[in-house]
Amino acid sequence: MQIRKSFTFEAAHVLPNHPGKCSRLHGHSYRLDVALEGPLHESGPAAGMVEDFEVVSRIVEAAVIAELDHQSLNDLMDNPTAERIAGWIWRRLEPQLPALAELTLWETPRACVVMKKDDPSSRSG
């Protein structure tokens, strides 16, 4: 079974290698969808759940949103493309959310990157 939770953050960036307007400072209202996959917990506080949505929220807010919201992404990573931002997020979440199966990072309402657990990019820097 899979669960999903969405988050939003605002951030600015410059893509220094881009031949177009993205080579200038600009910002986005990002939406992050986090998907966890696995069996339902049999007992404990998350009994009957893949994971408690509150636990997911607490982890994502602390590890990702607090770090990225209203920041210049170039201060955190080189050439912060949507793909590299998704990889950065994956590496921050995976140790705390072992059931992490997929991330979808929406840079605009019509453009996103999807990273899945078996994607080699989720393991590289």
Catalytic residue positions?
Answer: 22, 70, 107
Measure the CA–CA gap between 39 and 26, rounded to whole angstroms.
41
Q: 10 Å Cβ neighbour count for 108?
A: 11
Cα distance between residue 79 and residue 18, in whole Å: 9
Contact between residue 33 and residue 101 where contact means Cβ atoms under 8 Å apart: no
Q: Is the dihedral of CA 75, 79, 83, 88 positive or negative?
A: negative
Tokens representing 75 are: 């201060």
